C-alpha cells in the first residue's frame, strides 16, 4: 500500500476528507454599502470613503468533510470615491478588486436541501480611483480624491444559506463584511488633516453554483 493511500485512509477515518470532498464553482452578484472613515482638520470633519455600489464575482470552493469547507473568491466592485460633510460633497468614479480565501462552517450535511453557514477569512483588495482629478475640489481642506491605486489587506466574515436545486446545482444568499485599512493614497488626507478608521464594505450577495 502506497504512502498516499495510507494517508487518505487515515484522514478518511478521522474526518472523512478524501471520500467526502466535493467542489463547487459559481458566480455571485449584489450590492455593497460602505461605512466611512472620518477626515478631520481642526474642528472641520467629513465622511471619507466610498458610495454604495454594485459587486459581482466568481468563487471556487470545496467541502473537506460534511461541515467544513473553504472557498477562494474574486470580486469586482464599482463604488465612487466620496468626501461628504453636510451639503458639501466631492465624488470621483472608482472600482475595487478583491481576492480572498474563506473557511466555511456549515450547519447541515451536503445532501440537505438547505445549508446555513458562517464564513471568515482574508485576502487583498485593490482600490482604484478611475475618474479625473479636479483642480478645485470641494472639501479639499480635508482630503483629495486621486487617480491612484492601492492594495490593502482585507478581512472577510459573514454568513448565509445555500439551497440545493439538485445533484449538481445550488443557489445561495449571503451577507459579508469586508474590512480594510483606509486607502490613504486613493483618498489622500490634505496637509494638516488626518483620516482615521477602517472601511467596512457591508455586502449582500446572491449566487448560483455548479457542484461536482
CATH of the domain at 173: 2.40.160.20
Residue 4 pLDDT > 70, yes or no?
no
Residue 16 is assigned to a structural domain of this protein: no
Residue 97 is assigned to a structural domain of this protein: yes
Cell numbers at 101, concatenated: 480565501
Residue 60 is assigned to a structural domain of this protein: yes
The residues that bridge with 211 in the sheet, in sequence order, are 24
| Of 179 and 21, more confident | 179
Residue 30 is assigned to a structural domain of this protein: yes
Q: What is the pLDDT of residue 34?
A: 97
Q: What is the pLDDT of residue 151?
A: 98
> Please, which residues have CB within 8 angstroms of residue 33's CB and are 6 or more apart in sequence?
52, 201, 202, 203
Residue 92 pLDDT > 90, yes or no?
yes
Query: Which residue from 124, 114, 199 is spatially nearest to 160, judged by alpha carbons?
Result: 114
Percent of the chain with pLDDT over 90: 85
User: pLDDT tens digits, residue range 106-149?
Assistant: 999 999 999 999 999 999 999 999 998 888 999 999 999 999 99
Residue 14 is assigned to a structural domain of this protein: no
Residue 13 is assigned to a structural domain of this protein: no
Alpha-carbon distances of 207 from 5, 15, 164, 194, rounded to whole Å: 36, 29, 12, 39
User: pLDDT tens digits, residue range 22-73?
Assistant: 899 999 999 999 999 999 999 999 999 999 999 999 999 999 999 999 999 9
> Please, which residues have CB within 8 angstroms of residue 184's CB and are 6 or more apart in sequence?
150, 195
Q: Where are the beta strands (DSSP E) in 7-148?
A: 22-35, 37-41, 44-50, 53-63, 68-78, 81-85, 88-92, 94-106, 114-129, 143-145
What is the extent of the structural domain holding 85? 21-211
| Whole-angstrom distance, CA of residue 36 vs CA of residue 19 | 46
Q: What is the CB neighbour count within 10 angstroms for residue 172?
A: 19
The secondary structure of the chain in percent helix, strand, coil, rounded to multiples of 5, reads 10, 65, 25
43 φ/ψ angles, rounded to the nearest 5 degrees: -90, -5
Residue 1 is assigned to a structural domain of this protein: no
| Of 14 and 58, more confident | 58
Residue 7 is assigned to a structural domain of this protein: no
Total structural domains in the chain?
Answer: 1
| Whole-angstrom distance, CA of residue 149 vs CA of residue 125 | 10
| Whole-angstrom distance, CA of residue 18 vs CA of residue 6 | 11
> Please, which residues have CB within 8 angstroms of residue 15's CB and are 6 or more apart in sequence?
64, 65
Query: Which residue from 73, 67, 160, 75 is spatially nearest to 121, judged by alpha carbons?
Result: 73
Amino acid at each position: 500500500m502506497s504512502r498516499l493511500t495510507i494517508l487518505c485512509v487515515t484522514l478518511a477515518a478521522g474526518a472523512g476528507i478524501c471520500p467526502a470532498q466535493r467542489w463547487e464553482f459559481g458566480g455571485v452578484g449584489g450590492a455593497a454599502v460602505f461605512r466611512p472613515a472620518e477626515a478631520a482638520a481642526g474642528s472641520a470633519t467629513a465622511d471619507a470613503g466610498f458610495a454604495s455600489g454594485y459587486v459581482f464575482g466568481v468563487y471556487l470552493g470545496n467541502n473537506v468533510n460534511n461541515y467544513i469547507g473553504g472557498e477562494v473568491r474574486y470580486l469586482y466592485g464599482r463604488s465612487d470615491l466620496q468626501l461628504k460633510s453636510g451639503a458639501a460633497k466631492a465624488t470621483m468614479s472608482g472600482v475595487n478588486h478583491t481576492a480572498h480565501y474563506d473557511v466555511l462552517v456549515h450547519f447541515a450535511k451536503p445532501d440537505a436541501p438547505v445549508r446555513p453557514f458562517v464564513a471568515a477569512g482574508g485576502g487583498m483588495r485593490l482600490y482604484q480611483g478611475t475618474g479625473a482629478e479636479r483642480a478645485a475640489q470641494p472639501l479639499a481642506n480635508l482630503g483629495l480624491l486621486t487617480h491612484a491605486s492601492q492594495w490593502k489587506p482585507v478581512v472577510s466574515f459573514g454568513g448565509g444559506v445555500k439551497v440545493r436545486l439538485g445533484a449538481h446545482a445550488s443557489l445561495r444568499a449571503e451577507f459579508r463584511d469586508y474590512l480594510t485599512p483606509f486607502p490613504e493614497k486613493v483618498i489622500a488626507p490634505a496637509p494638516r488633516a488626518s483620516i482615521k478608521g477602517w472601511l467596512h464594505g457591508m455586502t449582500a450577495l446572491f449566487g448560483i453554483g455548479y457542484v461536482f
